[in-house]
Amino acid sequence: MKDAINKFPRYPLLPESTLVTKLCRLPKLVKNANIYIKRDDINYLGGGGNKLRKLEFYLGEAQFKGCDTIIAMGAWQSNHARLSAAAALHAGFQCELVLGKKVARDDHDYINNGNNLLERAMGVKIHTLDSSADLMQYAINRKAELETQGKKVYIIPFGGSDALGSLGYVNCAFEIAKQEHDNNIKFDYIITPNGSSGTHAGLIVGCKLLNSTAQVIGYNVLAPTDTTLPTTLKLANEILELLGHKPTITPEDILLNENYLGKGYGQPTVEMRKAIKLLAHEEGLFLDPVYSGKAFAGMLGDIEAGKYLAGKNILYLMTGGTPGLYAYQSEF
């Protein structure tokens, strides 16, 4: 199965596997649940986070095509944009970011701190667009402009979530299976935030290819289920097709919970704040306010509500994003 993925060019950004550990203290407060965490947040490069797995494939393709410049898009405090810039620079590309003010926050930290601070430190060119702007159209126009200057430009899709980038999370499912085997454990639930859906869709496809019985559950952080489900379903089937399989994922395979999204993308919730403080206080680990904090809050709420069967093993994917905490200073 790995051979089908290894056919795609890749620029390595991660070690062979990310750490899995069991939480010790926090579970005592939530029904003694068996909660494990997979550390995709560890700072291998650029502050760390889930997008590195996707970027391996985009940078591999960009190198293969002989490109010299990367354009990435995202919201103003996008982790994806920050990591695209870090990975692109690491691989020797020039990089420009197209950022839209998608979240109605204009306090000093949101504008200047967090991911923005790191992007300024990296010295990449940032194009700032208002909330209604079409980021992709802007990126396409900028690509054309740079190409008249002799550059060869590669545009990374929104969120790194097309079939190619999502292969990173098919691989992650294979990696989890190997860790299960090596450590003689079986994860019954795998939990992730679902934003642009590539992480969730990749894990679903990986588990399907492995015939795993684990339930892969996504907590919506970008949009409600009526839009996130069709997006995730379509993407999961596109990934299967890219790997030469029939598109066999059905709506029943897409497990989503929109109850912790709150008022929308990047909008803080009471549960998110509580979850971030709880994990920090009990375990010394940091979540982020936009993605992992909401998903972790959802997982805790659903454990309390009895939605995860007692005694089963839960694997929570720590997807990163901690620089976002500095942008939300006023919430804590």
Ligand X SMILES: Cc1ncc(COP(=O)(O)O)c(C=O)c1O
Please say which residue, 69 or 319, places its beta carbon nearer to ligand X. Answer: 319
Please say which residue, 105 or 152, places its beta carbon nearer to ligand X. Answer: 105
The answer to whether the beta carbons of residues 120 and 76 sit under 8 Å apart is no
129-133 long-range Cβ contacts below 8 angstroms, 24+ apart: 129/98, 129/99, 129/100, 129/101, 130/100, 130/101, 131/100, 131/101, 131/102, 131/104, 133/100
* By the rule CB under 6 A, 319 interacts with ligand X: yes
Site for ligand X, residues 26 to 65, rule: CB under 6 A: 49-50
Q: Which of 108-116, 190-198, 273-281, 296-304 is the region at the interface with ligand X (rule: CB under 6 A)?
A: 190-198
Query: 314: which DSSP letter?
Result: E
First to last CA, the chain: 45
Closest CB 158 distance from ligand X, rounded Å: 9
* By the rule CB under 6 A, 100 interacts with ligand X: no
The residue count for binding ligand X (CB under 6 A) is: 20
Return the half-sphere exposure (C-beta side, CA atoms, 13 A cut-off) of residue 258.
12
Q: Select from 48, 195, 266, 289 the one that contacts ligand X (CB under 6 A).
A: 195
Q: Select from 100, 114, 159, 266 the one that contacts ligand X (CB under 6 A).
A: 159
Query: 82: which DSSP letter?
Result: H
Closest CB 200 distance from ligand X, rounded Å: 6
* By the rule CB under 6 A, 193 interacts with ligand X: yes
Question: Strand runs (DSSP E) across the chain, as ranges?
Answer: 20-22, 34-39, 69-75, 94-100, 125-129, 153-155, 189-194, 215-220, 255-257, 313-318
Closest CB 141 distance from ligand X, rounded Å: 24
Please say which residue, 151 or 265, places its beta carbon nearer to ligand X. Answer: 265
Contacting residues toward ligand X, per CB under 6 A: 49-50, 79-80, 159, 161, 193-200, 288, 291-292, 319-321
